[in-house]
A = this chain, B = another copy of it.
Amino acid sequence: MTTNKTVPSDIEIAQQATMQNITKIARGIGLVEDDIELFGKYKAKLSYEAIERLKTAKNGRLILVTAINPTAAGEGKSTVTVGLGDALQKKGKSAMIAMREPSLGPVMGVKGGATGGGYAQVLPMEDINLHFTGDIHAITTANNALSAMIDNHLHQGNECKIDPRRIIWKRVLDMNDRALRKVVVGLGGPVQGVPREDGFDITVASEIMAVLCLATDLEDLKRRLSLIVVAYTYDKEPITVADIGVEGALTLLLKDALKPNLVQTIEQTPALVHGGPFANIAHGCNSVMATSAALKLADYVVTEAGFGADLGAEKFLNIKTRAAGVHPDAIVIVATIRALKMHGGQNKTALKEENIPALQAGLENLEKHIETIQAFGLPHVVAINRFITDTTEETKVLTEWCRNKQTPYALTEVWEKGGEGGLELAEQVLAAMEKPSFFSPIYSLQDSLADKISKVATEVYGAKEVVFSNKAQKQLEQFESYGWGELPICMAKTQYSLSDDAAKLGRPKDFTLHIRELLPKIGAGFIVALTGDVMTMPGLPKNPAALKMNVSLEGKAVGLF
């Protein structure tokens, strides 16, 4: 944004937008009335019949939006995703967006939704940011039904010989609630169950969210659910959902949540907003169901993955592509001058001030992500997401750097202008997709777990070496012995740095990546490698956003963002 005029808040823009009836949006992409299940006038789920019928259609082309290592505020990846979809539609293309649905918990905590921003938003934003179509509530329910069944199993005789000290399945709530991180359950005597240590994660960190997002249909969902490892026996043998016998009930609880949700942008571009797994402890992309359906419904599909290219894009390309059977035709790397200056040493509190040397120094972060995308064999475009504080000189330095590197780039102003502000990006992306691509994941599934981790660490992060803790070392052997050796790896690492140290900005070199622990996510179909403590249950700040929320007498959200 280059002007000084005041801009209304996201919710003001969203509530002033004119939405089309979702049946009309559906018709625009070739769907008939029976293909969708309405949730009010502006939300719908695709029916299984429609998805089945679409299977024979030809796939459109897929554009993945990723970013450099972000600042705490994020670099506007969702906004660019929405704006690029709008821009493609504005250019007369058949375009759709596939993106994650936001978790309600953080909405109560810190101001800021996850449905884009400014004039590049998906609507109805207040619904999508609150209960939406209930998918996350269904996951909470399925997760906690499994927990109740496990504790009931312990209480009713423990036929499976679950070691109560080795239950790895936690309860969840879609809430920022630090007091639930570590709890003791089953207190109160023999009638109230078996006392044990437990904890709650936020729902989007549940393995069931990852399972839902990687499943290709109801049958695959059930198969994945049955494989989830929930505990170990006293003999350290894994116990699965199938051992507990509850995969049918969990699938039943998720039968509607698996259907992708159809909504629209402010510019009435169709969007599938579905699934939102954590981008550290899980893979951080919207559902395979949504991406696959969008590819059948549009010629161009814009999607995104969480955090920077070292996390979200790496997992999209090594994990999701394998589950979905498709890969992106082009990658957009979102960069901001603010964040590049931070990577070049500018103080975080002074990112609004011009600092050419810091910008120049910070460009090496962008450079590394470009190299990573090239290593995957895919064409890319750098999207320079403009902020009002960017100076002419700074913009010139960045664009000249891109030109010198012969890297395609575009300035975007989608936050302020919607699709109009993304036309240049759309042109660059369309051009990039004409280039030959040679997609190949960074590692083979036949590589050992340790080798997969090493390849990501060295080739994507630029690490010198990987050091495994004693615990992780032991787990590598155990997990291979359980037959989990051929699963892909899901790295859990800070999003702020290419390394496992959030303070190492720019392009750290010669660093060692430390693997503390591995977590089996056998239903999701990957092994999580933890490089440090991962926060899976956020807390509320001193003045939570909830304190300002309200609703008008007509039922409109007030103070949401």
Contact = CB atoms under 8 A, between A and B. Distances in A.
A32 interface: no
Contact of A40 (B38, B41, B175, B249): B38
A188 interface: yes
B131 A148 contact: no
Nearest to A134: B134
A173 interface: yes
Given A141-B104, A252-B550, A553-B219, A148 B134 contact: no
Interface string A184-211: 1111100111100000000000000000
A468 interface: no
Interface string A164-189: 00000001011111111111111110
A248 B558 contact: yes
A546 interface: yes
Taking each of A171, A554, A555, which has the highest tally of chain B beta carbons within 10 Å of its own beta carbon?
Answer: A555
A251 to B, nearest CB: 5
Nearest to A146: B546
Interface stretch (A151-159, A278-286, A359-367): A151-159
Nearest to A191: B178
A82 interface: no
Contact of A178 (B145, B155, B222, B256): B155
B148 A555 contact: no
A149 interface: yes
A455 interface: no
A438 interface: no
A559 interface: yes
A553 B104 CA distance: 30
Interface in A35-54: 37-41, 48
How many chain copies? Answer: 2
Contacts of A546: 145, 149, 246, 249
Interface residues of A, number: 76
A126 to B, nearest CB: 8
A108 interface: yes
Interface string A535-561: 000011010101111110111011110
B148 A175 contact: yes
A555 B255 contact: yes
Given A37-B41, A149-B544, A178-B151, A251 B130 contact: no
Contacts of A185: 179-180, 183
B144 A175 contact: yes
A358 interface: no
23 contacts: A37-B39, A37-B41, A130-B253, A131-B137, A137-B140, A140-B140, A152-B178, A152-B544, A155-B178, A155-B539, A181-B187, A181-B192, A181-B193, A183-B184, A183-B185, A183-B186, A217-B553, A248-B550, A248-B551, A248-B558, A251-B551, A252-B549, A252-B560
